[in-house]
Amino acid sequence: MLLEVWRVAEAPKNDKFQYTYFAHKLNSFDTAPKKLLPSDSRLRPDRAALEKGDLSLSGNEKSSLEERQRAEKRNREAKNHKFTPRWFDLTEEVTPTPWGELEVYQYNGKYSEHRAAIDNSDIIDSTPEFNPWQFDNLEAE
Protein backbone atom coordinates (compact mmCIF):
# COMPACT_ATOMS: atom_id res chain seq x y z
CA MET A 1 0.00 0.00 0.00
CA LEU A 2 1.34 3.42 -0.96
CA LEU A 3 0.71 6.33 1.34
CA GLU A 4 1.00 9.89 0.07
CA VAL A 5 3.09 11.90 2.51
CA TRP A 6 3.64 15.05 0.48
CA ARG A 7 2.22 16.81 -2.55
CA VAL A 8 3.61 19.89 -4.28
CA ALA A 9 1.42 22.92 -3.76
CA GLU A 10 -0.35 24.58 -6.65
CA ALA A 11 1.58 27.24 -8.54
CA PRO A 12 -0.05 30.46 -9.71
CA LYS A 13 -1.36 30.22 -13.27
CA ASN A 14 1.09 31.42 -15.95
CA ASP A 15 4.00 31.50 -13.49
CA LYS A 16 7.02 31.14 -15.77
CA PHE A 17 9.09 29.40 -13.09
CA GLN A 18 6.20 27.40 -11.60
CA TYR A 19 6.97 28.75 -8.13
CA THR A 20 4.36 27.90 -5.55
CA TYR A 21 2.57 30.65 -3.64
CA PHE A 22 4.79 29.76 -0.69
CA ALA A 23 7.96 30.27 -2.75
CA HIS A 24 6.68 33.64 -3.92
CA LYS A 25 5.98 34.60 -0.32
CA LEU A 26 9.48 33.58 0.77
CA ASN A 27 11.08 35.64 -1.99
CA SER A 28 8.85 38.68 -1.50
CA PHE A 29 10.04 41.92 0.03
CA ASP A 30 6.48 42.29 1.36
CA THR A 31 7.09 39.50 3.88
CA ALA A 32 10.68 40.49 4.67
CA PRO A 33 11.78 41.92 8.01
CA LYS A 34 12.05 45.73 7.99
CA LYS A 35 15.82 45.58 8.33
CA LEU A 36 17.29 42.96 6.02
CA LEU A 37 20.62 41.33 6.74
CA PRO A 38 23.13 41.81 3.90
CA SER A 39 23.12 38.03 3.34
CA ASP A 40 19.34 37.85 2.74
CA SER A 41 18.86 36.06 -0.58
CA ARG A 42 16.11 38.52 -1.57
CA LEU A 43 18.98 40.95 -2.25
CA ARG A 44 20.82 38.63 -4.65
CA PRO A 45 21.28 40.36 -8.02
CA ASP A 46 21.09 37.06 -9.92
CA ARG A 47 17.71 36.29 -8.39
CA ALA A 48 16.41 39.78 -9.14
CA ALA A 49 17.53 39.51 -12.78
CA LEU A 50 15.91 36.07 -13.08
CA GLU A 51 12.61 37.42 -11.77
CA LYS A 52 12.76 40.19 -14.39
CA GLY A 53 13.33 37.57 -17.07
CA ASP A 54 16.91 38.64 -17.89
CA LEU A 55 18.44 35.17 -18.06
CA SER A 56 21.75 36.42 -19.46
CA LEU A 57 22.32 38.91 -16.63
CA SER A 58 21.11 36.37 -14.09
CA GLY A 59 23.60 33.79 -15.33
CA ASN A 60 26.44 36.31 -15.30
CA GLU A 61 25.57 37.46 -11.77
CA LYS A 62 25.35 33.87 -10.52
CA SER A 63 28.70 33.00 -12.11
CA SER A 64 30.24 36.09 -10.52
CA LEU A 65 28.87 35.17 -7.10
CA GLU A 66 30.12 31.58 -7.41
CA GLU A 67 33.59 32.76 -8.44
CA ARG A 68 33.69 35.16 -5.48
CA GLN A 69 32.69 32.27 -3.20
CA ARG A 70 35.49 30.09 -4.60
CA ALA A 71 37.97 32.99 -4.23
CA GLU A 72 36.88 33.55 -0.64
CA LYS A 73 37.36 29.85 0.13
CA ARG A 74 40.83 29.81 -1.48
CA ASN A 75 41.79 32.95 0.43
CA ARG A 76 40.44 31.60 3.71
CA GLU A 77 42.27 28.29 3.25
CA ALA A 78 45.54 30.05 2.32
CA LYS A 79 45.33 31.98 5.59
CA ASN A 80 44.28 28.92 7.59
CA HIS A 81 41.03 30.59 8.59
CA LYS A 82 38.51 27.93 9.53
CA PHE A 83 34.96 28.36 8.29
CA THR A 84 32.61 28.41 11.26
CA PRO A 85 28.85 28.68 10.77
CA ARG A 86 27.34 31.59 12.70
CA TRP A 87 23.91 30.19 13.44
CA PHE A 88 24.69 26.47 13.91
CA ASP A 89 27.00 24.46 16.16
CA LEU A 90 28.59 21.15 15.28
CA THR A 91 27.23 18.26 17.35
CA GLU A 92 28.97 14.98 18.06
CA GLU A 93 26.35 13.21 15.96
CA VAL A 94 27.13 11.78 12.54
CA THR A 95 24.42 10.56 10.20
CA PRO A 96 24.77 8.07 7.35
CA THR A 97 23.70 9.16 3.87
CA PRO A 98 24.03 7.57 0.43
CA TRP A 99 27.10 9.83 -0.06
CA GLY A 100 28.84 8.89 3.18
CA GLU A 101 28.58 10.01 6.77
CA LEU A 102 27.78 13.65 7.41
CA GLU A 103 28.33 15.78 10.49
CA VAL A 104 25.18 17.09 12.14
CA TYR A 105 24.77 20.73 13.07
CA GLN A 106 22.23 22.17 15.50
CA TYR A 107 20.69 25.64 15.47
CA ASN A 108 22.28 27.66 18.29
CA GLY A 109 19.69 30.45 18.66
CA LYS A 110 22.18 33.20 17.80
CA TYR A 111 20.31 34.23 14.65
CA SER A 112 17.21 35.02 16.70
CA GLU A 113 19.33 37.11 19.08
CA HIS A 114 21.05 38.87 16.18
CA ARG A 115 17.74 39.47 14.41
CA ALA A 116 16.23 40.97 17.60
CA ALA A 117 19.26 43.22 18.10
CA ILE A 118 19.00 44.49 14.51
CA ASP A 119 15.25 45.02 14.77
CA ASN A 120 15.64 46.96 18.04
CA SER A 121 18.60 49.03 16.89
CA ASP A 122 18.66 52.59 15.64
CA ILE A 123 20.19 51.48 12.34
CA ILE A 124 18.69 53.45 9.49
CA ASP A 125 16.11 51.38 7.66
CA SER A 126 17.75 51.13 4.26
CA THR A 127 18.16 48.15 2.00
CA PRO A 128 21.74 46.91 2.21
CA GLU A 129 23.74 45.62 -0.72
CA PHE A 130 23.87 41.82 -0.94
CA ASN A 131 26.89 40.45 0.92
CA PRO A 132 26.97 36.72 1.72
CA TRP A 133 30.46 36.64 3.24
CA GLN A 134 31.07 35.45 6.78
CA PHE A 135 34.26 37.46 7.01
CA ASP A 136 34.15 41.15 6.16
CA ASN A 137 36.34 41.25 3.07
CA LEU A 138 39.02 38.61 2.75
CA GLU A 139 39.94 39.85 -0.70
CA ALA A 140 41.20 43.11 0.83
CA GLU A 141 43.44 41.42 3.41
125-134 tens-digit pLDDT: 677 788 887 5
Number of domains in the chain: 1
Q: What is the dihedral of CA 77, 81, 85, 89, to 10 degrees?
A: 120
> pLDDT per residue over 7-43, tens digit each?
888 888 988 888 888 888 888 888 888 888 888 899 9
Give the C-alpha separation, 80 to 15, whole Å.
Answer: 46
Degrees (nearest 5) of the Cα angle 66, 29, 72?
Answer: 20
Report yes or no on 1 lying in a domain.
no
Report yes or no on 131 lying in a domain.
yes
Report yes or no on 9 lying in a domain.
no
Report yes or no on 53 lying in a domain.
yes
Give the C-alpha separation, 16 to 123, whole Å.
Answer: 37
CATH number of the structural domain spanning residue 127: 3.30.70
pTM for the model stands at 0.70
Q: Residue 16: what residue type?
A: K
Degrees (nearest 5) of the Cα angle 32, 23, 90?
Answer: 75
- Residues of the domain holding 89: 21-140
